[in-house]
Amino acid sequence: MLGYLNRKLGNLNVAAKLALGFAVVLLLTLATTISGWRALDGAINRSQQLSEIGQINDLVKDLRAERITFRVLSDDTSKARIQQAIEQLERMLTTLQQRSSVDESRQLLTQKLQLLQQLREDFTELQSTVASRTTLRQAMQAQALKLDDVIDDLQTQALLTMSESQQGSALGLMESLSRHVEGANQQSLVPAYTFSPVEAFTKVGDDALDAADKSLEQLLKALAPLSLPRSLTEQPGVELAKYRASLDQYRRAAVRAEQLQDSMEKMGDELGVASVELAGRKVEQRDSEALAARSLLTSVALLALLLGVVAAWLITLQITQPLRQTLAVAARIAKGDLSQVDTVQRRDEMGQLQTSMREMTLSLRELIGGIDQGVGQLSQAATQLATSSEDTKLRINQQREETDQVATAMNQMSATVQEVAQNAEQASLAATNADQQAQLGDQVVAEAIGRIEQLAGQMDHCLTAMQHLADESQRIGSILDVIKSVSEQTNLLALNAAIEAARAGEAGRGFAVVADEVRGLAQRTSTATEEISQLISSLHNGTDEVTHLLDNSKRLTEQSVELSRKAGDALGQITHTVSSIQSMNQQIATASEEQSVVAEQINRSVLNVRDVSDQTSAASEQTAASSGELEQLGQQLRGMVGRFSI
């Protein structure tokens, strides 16, 4: 093989030999460059994949945050964001799977896609379950209102038929029944995710409804003697059973929704774990490829060095004896000894060659000196750049973690602010209802005042009439005295007439009979007059008592009017206070909505900062890698330059 090369090279001139030698070196340099490019492309590809995996992790975190928001609010905005995050994750995982060349990574990505598909199906079921839960909650509240109406109707009928002693017990039982139903309704409105375990929510409100059943049973026993319509007494039990059924359906839907939420949370955690595992595999693959690239570059460099030495040795063998001196100079230069510069005396072609060698030695000395200084500065700058990049990377990672915490806190605060706005709106509605009821009560009190004032006027008329009746009874008494006096005189006259008739004998017998009849009539008149006098006296006493009672009733009526006016003034103050509460609730709701908007803007800004931090972190990693390669290259150059002595 060497003999064949020697024969071929022997037919070439020196220029051709040198051209051939430099061509081999350039080809090997080109091979080294191509190998470096391929290694760099592989590193860039792995870095891009790691960046995409980081974006997938961010999407998983965003998905978890939006899922928490949807768990609290169940609004269309968080639902759309969850669907958008799932679609982005699916696109990125599919793209990453197509670009992955390792079977284990492709299998892991396939598992993540399957897990994401299951998460999508659970979220679809969750949407329908949340919608069903909302519908069932509305139906439950409507049934509660219907039950309240039935209890009100029963209360109205009972008040019309019961005595005052019975009303107190019945009203207490009705109030207890309404309070237990309201308690069950309020307990069911507590979010199911606050219970541990979630299945405990299926028992919420049962104690209150059991107490309501007992109150209803006692109420029906109390109303049994009233002979109320059967449909009226049985209707509360029927409506209470319907409300219990509505509550059961709502609780089952709420528990199913929370189970789906827990399943989605578990799958989200599995996605995060799979992303971390995939990132670890990509890092291992990157390190493995980097090691292979370094081995390849080292092999190519060693091969280039070996071929260069062989080419130099072959070219040296082709130089004839007159070129030995030049060969010695070239050998000295090849060994790196640039300290000696020979004086050229020859002017021929060899002399020109030696002159060229001398100039080349001087140029190499200057070049190597400059390269040595540049390599030192380059190595120092690369070390500083690597240190700065690592420090920047640590700070950016810390900033990214803090930004994630801020984003999570802002999501929670936004959900809390929206819940405060909803509570303020409900309080405003309650204040409006209270205002209307207070105004209605004010009108009722005003009407009662008018009625009581009319009653006071009627009492005055009654008092006047009773006084007139007393006066008339007095007149009747005086008239009876006259009648009594007349009857006594008539009796005396009849007695005198009887005496005179007795004196007259037979002639006065008829007159005596008439006188006896007149005396009898006078006696009966006197007796009747006495009885009438007694009746008039009793009537006069009764009239005095009634007059006294009417005076007391008048005073009580005046006091009732005064109390009713005070009640009207108190209701007016209550109406004014309720109006103020309503205004403040509206202001609270408005401020809560504005705070929610500001929190959402801050949340988006924090997410933008986090994205910028991720990009900066990736750039810092690339800078650190480039700095390491640059420092390694500087060390290699310094090692090569160290072979020369100036």
pLDDT in tens, 319-336: 565 567 777 777 777 777
Residue type, position 77, single letter = T
- CA–CA gap between residue 411 and residue 70 (Å, rounded): 11
Token couple for 547: 């007059």
The answer to whether residue 552 sits within a structural domain is yes
Note the pLDDT of residue 11. 54
Domain hosting residue 567, numbered range:
443-571
Token couple for 84: 């958008």
- CA–CA gap between residue 484 and residue 529 (Å, rounded): 6
Note the pLDDT of residue 641. 63
Note the pLDDT of residue 28. 75
Task: State what percent of residues in the chain have pLDDT above 90.
Answer: 0
Note the pLDDT of residue 361. 76
Phi and psi at residue 222, in whole multiples of 5°?
-70, -30
The DSSP code sequence of 446-498 is: HHHHHHHHHHHHHHHHHHHHHHHHHHHHHHHHHHHHHHHHHHHHHHHHHHHHH
**Is pLDDT of 480 > 70?**
no
Note the pLDDT of residue 222. 74
Task: State what percent of residues in the chain have pLDDT above 70.
Answer: 61
- DSSP-derived 3-state class of residue 337: strand
Q: How far is CA 366 from the centre of its chain?
A: 73
- DSSP-derived 3-state class of residue 100: coil
Report which of 96, 618, 599 is spatially closest to residue 400, judged by C-alpha positions.
618
The answer to whether residue 581 sits within a structural domain is no
CB 65 within 8 A of CB 312: no
Note the pLDDT of residue 633. 72
The answer to whether residue 499 sits within a structural domain is yes
CATH classification at residue 462: 1.10.287.950
- Which among 36-40, 84-88, 494-498, 546-550 has the top mean pLDDT? 84-88
pLDDT band, very low/low/confident/very high, at 568 (cuts 50, 70, 90): low
For residue range 188-215, list pLDDT tens digits in order.
Answer: 777 655 556 666 666 777 778 888 888 8
- Please provide the average confidence, as pLDDT, over all residues in the chain: 72
CB 126 within 8 A of CB 257: yes
**What residues have CB less than 8 Å from 360, skipping those under 6 apart?**
333
Report which of 58, 644, 160 is spatially closest to residue 408, judged by C-alpha positions.
58
- CA–CA gap between residue 571 and residue 365 (Å, rounded): 108
pLDDT band, very low/low/confident/very high, at 25 (cuts 50, 70, 90): confident
- What pTM does this model have? 0.37
Mean pLDDT of the region 503-529: 70
The answer to whether residue 526 sits within a structural domain is yes
The answer to whether residue 557 sits within a structural domain is yes
Q: Cα dihedral angle (521, 524, 529, 535), rounded to 10 degrees?
A: -150
Q: 517-545 in b/e burial notation, b at 16+ Cβ within 10 A? A: ebbeebeebbeebeebbeebeebeeebee
Report which of 247, 257, 255, 267 is spatially closest to residue 128, judged by C-alpha positions.
257
Residue type, position 150, single letter = V
The lowest-confidence range among 113-117, 128-132, 384-388 is 384-388
pLDDT band, very low/low/confident/very high, at 50 (cuts 50, 70, 90): low
**Is pLDDT of 2 > 60?**
no
For residue range 338-364, list pLDDT tens digits in order.
Answer: 667 667 665 655 566 767 777 777 777
Residue type, position 504, single letter = A
Task: Give me the number of domains the chain comprises.
Answer: 1
CB 147 within 8 A of CB 236: yes
- DSSP-derived 3-state class of residue 228: coil
pLDDT band, very low/low/confident/very high, at 90 (cuts 50, 70, 90): confident
**Is pLDDT of 6 > 60?**
no
pLDDT band, very low/low/confident/very high, at 118 (cuts 50, 70, 90): confident
The answer to whether residue 496 sits within a structural domain is yes
- CA–CA gap between residue 123 and residue 125 (Å, rounded): 5
The answer to whether residue 105 sits within a structural domain is no
**Is pLDDT of 246 > 80?**
yes
Mean pLDDT of the region 486-498: 71
Token couple for 387: 């240190």
DSSP state, 197? S
The answer to whether residue 194 sits within a structural domain is no
Q: 313-331 in b/e burial notation, b at 16+ Cβ within 10 A? A: ebbeebeeeebeebbebbe
The residue with tokens 């590809």 is: 45
Note the pLDDT of residue 642. 67
- CA–CA gap between residue 90 and residue 119 (Å, rounded): 11
Mean pLDDT of the region 24-32: 77
For residue range 414-460, list pLDDT tens digits in order.
Answer: 666 567 667 656 766 765 776 677 677 667 667 766 776 676 676 67
Residue type, position 327, single letter = L
For residue range 467-478, list pLDDT tens digits in order.
Answer: 776 676 677 767
